[in-house]
Every structure is written in C-alpha cells, then in structure tokens.
Amino acid sequence: MNKKKAGGIESFHPPRLYPDYKSTVLRAPHRPLILVPGIFDDAYGPVFGESEVGPDDHDLTKNGRRDGEPLGERMIVHGKVMDLNGKGIPNTLVELWQANSAGRYIHKVDQHDAPLDPNFLGAGRCLTDQEGCYLFYTIKPGAYPWGNHYNAWRPQHLHFSVFGRNISSRLVTQMYFPGDPLLLYDPIYESAPETTRHLMVADFDLDRTEPMFALGYKFDIVLNGRNESRFENR
C-alpha cells in the first residue's frame, strides 16, 4: 500500500533495492515493472481448502517429532489477519517457517555450524477462523550469522506467508521479537521506513502465555491501509 505525498508517492514498504542488504543489489529490478494481464486471476494456481490442513499442522512442537520433544523455548504466536478497517478475514491460509532454537534451517543451503533438531520441522500452517484469528505453537528461533557484512547476524524472527484464494495471491512478511538488540544492525529490518518498523515486531502477551508451558506473543497481519504489514513481495 502506498500513501500519496506532495510531489510523488512515498512507499510504506522497504525498497526493492537497498544497498545495505546486499542481495537486493543482484536481484532487484533495474527497469520499470510490467504487469502481465491475467497472471493473477483466480483461475491460476492451486486453490486451497480445509482439507489441505492437518490437525497438527499449526503445532510445530508436535508436527516434526520423531523420538522426543524439540529443544528450546516453547512459545505461542497468535493474531488476526484483517483488512484496513480491522475486520478479520476468515479461511485464510497462513504459513510459518523458521530456524530452530540453535539458529539453523532444515535446508541443504544452510551450512551454519549449529546443530539440527531431529524433532523440529521448522514449518507449519493453519487456516484463520471466522473472526480471522490464527494460532501457532512453536519454538523460539535462534539468531544466526549470514554473509551480508562483517559479523552479520540475523535477529530472531519468524517468516509468515498469507494466501488469498490461491497461490497467486501470496504475501510474505517477517515477525521480530521485542527488545532484540540485533534489530539495530539488521539491514532487512532497517530497510523498512522507520515509522513502520514497529509493525514487524510482535507484542509479548502474558494473557496468552500458558503457565508452565509456553510464552505468548501477538502478531496481527494487516493486508491494506495505513497500518498494513510490511510485505517483502509488494
């Protein structure tokens, strides 16, 4: 979503080219984008439904178990997917993926010298309810080094994607944790306009915390308007 400003348009979203985030130098478009008519019509791509989501898909503390519990700090992340007026959007597919508690992904490209957790898959999904609410149980991810600059570390974060009726309407964002000192050194977080960065940081939620089990965090996802979430693929 863009807001109009005297003399032009100021984007609420991170720019596609942000030199401090070095990967954007290679992958950002250098010419005006061209909209291909019809490519985002509902007829394109698979259509999602309730039959695609299993009973434990939302619980990352269970869906990857082999012979024990995953290691790390258990947490609950919940929120609402809503429109610009704050109305919840029901039956929306929400995906989550993340590093494990040691800061490593289950992916052949991730060669970070940190242990893999055989009981943690690092991915989950759920459908929002009739009020647009979602909920995941998971493990708090660890920070990890990356090659963007000297001694660069990514803050602890979760990746979210939100789908409309089908795969062609996917939006992707990241959720960060309050008080993380690495936020000040992360060019992905810093690439968002300063006035909107708080929209990427979850709120600690003691009311949603489950005693003796897991801490709670609230993270709403807004699809349009002034408080729209910061989407990577806008």
Cβ-based neighbours of 4, under 8 Å, separated by 6 or more: none
Backbone angles phi, psi at 59, to 5 degrees: -110, 95
DSSP-derived secondary structure for 61-91: TTTT-SSSPPPS-EEEEEEEEE-TTS-B--S
Of residues 14, 162, 186, the one with CA closest to residue 96 = 162
> What are the counts of helices (DSSP H) followed by strands (DSSP E) for the chain?
2, 13
Q: What is the DSSP letter of 24?
A: H
- CA 171 from chain centre, in angstroms, equals 9
From CA 14, how far away is CA 188, in angstroms rounded?
A: 8
**Residues classed as catalytic:** 105, 144, 154, 157, 159
> Mapping DSSP to helix (H, G, I), strand (E, B) and coil, where does residue 200 land?
helix
From CA 78, how far away is CA 75, in angstroms rounded?
A: 10
Of residues 147, 179, 143, the one with CA closest to residue 158 = 143
> Mapping DSSP to helix (H, G, I), strand (E, B) and coil, where does residue 187 land?
helix
